[in-house]
Amino acid sequence: MTTETRSGCPIQHSADEPKLDFGGTTPYEDYVHAATLHELQWPVTDEPLERSFLVVTQVMELYFGLLAFDLRYARDRLAADDVRAGTTALYRCVLHVKALRAAWLPIARMTPREFNAFRDALGEGSGFQSAAYRQVEFLLGEKSASMLVPHRSVPAQHAELSRALGEPGVYDAALALLARRGHAVPDDVLNRDLTRPYAPSPAVEEVWAKIYATDDGEPLRLGEALTDVAEEFTGWRHDHLMATRRAMGAKPGTGGSAGVSWLEKRARRELFPELWTARSHV
């Protein structure tokens, strides 16, 4: 039994019980700022499912930021020739995307009538306007200068994304590492315009095919980690497509896109393409 004193009053609790009195806010609140998080939902309708939509969207936004953080970390570790740490970070990214995919479930199970009850409240808001999501796409090699346009009115955000547009993605770092280890990654790939989307290279396909046919070490494990990230992220895009189809059919998107048809095109885009095509030559 232990005894504490607050304002002259003894407080007793046994050793196997958690501490309950902290004389102010709890250490959990000080660290997590949970009260702040719970004050960030501002529904503009009386529809109960709008709060669900807001919370899920905010959870996704937090995961976009976390995913971007670990993709940058993986890229930087690969640039420093620390393949083990880079690969470990990539596998963390796989788990982040799995959590993002699970987050679609509450939205995907809304009927069209339930979603339409608050959809007008979104106005022109759309997830493709997320700066954190744009960071993720840039790090995965999905570069597009036009996607900077929605962020022009927020100078700091625009500057950060402009910088990210011209920086190597995680696949660029992986290919540069392979080149440093003697693999025949061509100069035009290593010195490509980083502001443009990555384009498949037959020579890079040959590099991965050779690795998969003959290598059991770090390059192979790196290739598999990158493949897992690509597969899971493609799955997330497909989940987005299916959730949208269930909730709103073929209506135009809130951000002015073509909605489902635009998402279908995005879902067909392949990350790290040679990691997929090389398998046919092993």
91 burial via Cβ count (<10 Å: 0-12, 13-18, 19+): middle
Q: How many CA atoms lie within 13 A of 220 on its CB side?
A: 11
DSSP string for residues in 14-69? -TTSPP---SSS-HHHHHH-HHHHHT----SSS-HHHHHHHHHHHHHHHHHHHHHH
Q: Contact, 85 vs 221, CB < 8 A?
A: no
Residues comprising the chain, all counted = 282
Count the Cβ atoms, other than its own, within 10 Å of residue 38.
Answer: 9
Q: Which residue has the tokens 């790196």?
A: 222
Residue 34 dihedral angles phi and psi, to the nearest 5°: -60, -40
| Residue 52 CB contacts under 8 Å (≥ 6 apart), including other chains | 106, 107
- 59 contacts 103 by C-beta, under 8 angstroms: yes
d(CA 265, CA 90): 25
Q: Is 234 annotated as a binding residue?
A: no
Annotated binding residue 254 = yes
Q: Residue 119, annotated ligand binder? A: yes
Annotated binding site for substrate: which residue ranges? 119, 254
Annotated binding site: which residue ranges? 119, 240, 254
Annotated binding site for heme: which residue ranges? 240
